[in-house]
Amino acid sequence: MSDLYKLHGLNNSQVGRYGRQLITPGVGVAGQEALLAAKVLVVGAGGLGCPIAMYLAGAGVGTIGIVDYDTVEVGNLHRQIGHNELKEGHAKAVSLATACQQLNSSISVIPHTVTFTSDTALDLIARYDIVVDASDNVATRYLINDASVLANKILVSGSALKWDGQVTVYHYNNGPCYRCLFPVPPPAETVTRCSDGGVLGPIVGVIGSLQALEVIKIITNNSDGVLSGRLMLYDGLAGTFKTVKIRSRQPGCVVCGDNPTLTELIDYPQFCSSPYSDKSSKVDDRIEDELIMTCKQYKSILDTNKKHILLDVRPKNQFEICSLPNSTNIPIDELSRESSIKTIEELAINENEILPIYIVCRRGNKSQDAATILGNKLNSTEKSTNSFIIKHIRDGLTGWNEEIDPTFPLY
């Protein structure tokens, strides 16, 4: 296109590349120019981060930053479709940045292979206009919120688990921030992680795409429909979307309120009692020593053919993947039922002897709770006998894989 025809700053290849987007009502040349000038930071290069960054790259967002400390694993690929098998072991931020550049080499995509922490957040955010939360843990969520408010940036937030997801925009046009809605973090033990609850690829695909769309709406100044003060909920299994009004900005909010008291970043893992990661860490012992058995001890029980009951308290669909020989599956949620207790008693009471009951789960977390529940039910004071031996297997099936048999599949 010669200047004779041109009334704007887009060149011929930009008109060609972004044509379908350009002619969409509400975008136009001004919208495209704004996209090319925009700088967006995506925190997390996982399930949400992949579609977010790829769609923003496709749309021609001029500068995209991608933060992630982690590396690509094959178990990520069912949903993290910006990566591929050749990238196993590579930094996720670099892998996704490369995929974005392959999609659109005319923009700038900057990988930041660091953990987003109180030390790194403000420096990173300062280089961008909009922040997108594509992380997967509560500590990072509070950090991103506080850093965005302190740096006065708009935050596009999303989350997904199992078959569901949600999207909203914080700190936009006097709308609420995350803390206006959730002033204090939930108890760490009530938070379900993707690695425990599961998540489907298309669910993060939908939510990540919606987050990218909010970013595009904000940049192209389609402000009326921006999901500020509203939360869009997607139930993929039911096939429904619902948008609900959420609490407005709270004048008393510690970070975005009228008289904020939180004026610098804090220690978020401490505040949330959980780390900047949803990875499973070693589980601490919470019960007395006599209720604990190691994987090696259980192996020797098996090797010596000692009679016992092995109770696997994982959800049924996890038990189906693989289980230790002769184990009985009673998911922990069903353990307190009278019928479950009866089944366990029938299994354990064997002619004249009472067999010991060993409990296993994925990592040795739920099995501790199960040992306590079962101890209370079976050895309660109302019972005449107090003789059930109950132990949980420390480190669970993950420990079994690591210490005893690496062929036991991990998921």
Name the segment binding ligand ATP (CB under 6 A); options: 133-141, 285-293, 372-380, 385-393.
Answer: 133-141
Q: From the list ligand ATP, Zn ion, none, which binds 205 (C-beta under 5 to 8 Å, kind-based)?
A: none
DSSP H helices in 255-411: 268-272, 295-303, 316-319, 338-348, 366-378, 396-399
Q: Does 44 bind ligand ATP (CB under 6 A)?
A: yes
Buried residues in 244-273 as b, exposed as e (16+ CB within 10 A) = eebeebbeebbbbbeeeeeeebeebbeebe
Comparing every residue's Cβ against Zn ion, the nearest one is 253
Q: Does the annotation count 100 as an active-site position?
A: no
Q: β-pairing, 309-312 with 357-360?
A: parallel
Question: Would you say 76 is a known binding-site residue?
Answer: yes
Is 222 annotated for ligand binding?
no
Site for ligand ATP in 140-179 (CB under 6 A): 140
Estimate the crossing angle of helix 49-59 against helix 92-103, to 10 degrees.
Answer: 30
Residue 60: which of 15, 125, 91 has the closest Cα? Answer: 15
φ, ψ (nearest 5 deg) of residue 360: -130, 150
The answer to whether 322 is annotated as binding is: no
Element (H, E) at 50: helix 49-59
- The interface partner of residue 140, options being ligand ATP, Zn ion, none and the CB cut-off 5 to 8 Å by kind, is ligand ATP
129 is in an annotated binding site: no
* Binders of ligand ATP in range 295-354 (CB under 6 A): none
Note whether 95 binds ligand ATP by CB under 6 A: no
Asked if 369 interacts with ligand ATP (CB under 6 A), we say no
Give min distance, CB of 6 to Zn ion, in A.
45
Residue 195 engages ligand ATP in binding (rule: CB under 6 A):
yes
295 among known catalytic residues: no
Instruction: Please give the residue whose beta carbon sits closest to ligand ATP in the complex.
Output: 46
Q: Is 71 in the site for ligand ATP (CB under 6 A)?
A: no
Query: Residues 363, 396: contact at Cβ < 8 Å?
Result: yes
> Among 33-41, 70-78, 303-311, 329-337, which window interacts with ligand ATP (CB under 6 A)?
70-78
Cβ closest to Zn ion, residue 247 vs residue 337: 247
Contact flags string 254-293 toward ligand ATP, x per CB under 6 A: ----------------------x-x---------------
Q: Is 47 annotated as a binding residue?
A: yes
Burial group, residue 362, by CB count within 10 angstroms (0-12, 13-18, 19+):
buried
Alpha helices in 61-186 (DSSP H): 92-103, 121-126, 138-150, 178-181
**Pair of tokens at residue 365:** 């977390």
Partner from ligand ATP, Zn ion, none contacting 395, C-beta within 5 to 8 A by type = none
> What is the binding site for Zn ion (CB under 5 A)?
177, 179-180, 253, 256
Q: Which residues contact 316 (CB under 8 A, 6 or more apart)?
A: 329, 331
Residues 114, 45: Cα–Cα separation, whole Å: 12
272 assigned binding-site residue: no
Nearest Cα neighbor of 379 from 369, 367, 388 is: 388
Active-site residue, from 50, 100, 194, 272: 194
* 394 annotated as belonging to a binding site for a ligand: no
Per the annotation, binding residues for ATP are 47, 68, 75-79, 92, 136-137
Per the annotation, binding residues are 47, 68, 75-79, 92, 136-137, 177, 180, 253, 256
Q: Which residues are catalytic?
A: 194, 361
- By CB under 6 A, name the binding residues for ligand ATP: 44-47, 67-70, 75-76, 80, 92, 115-116, 135-137, 140, 194-195, 276, 278
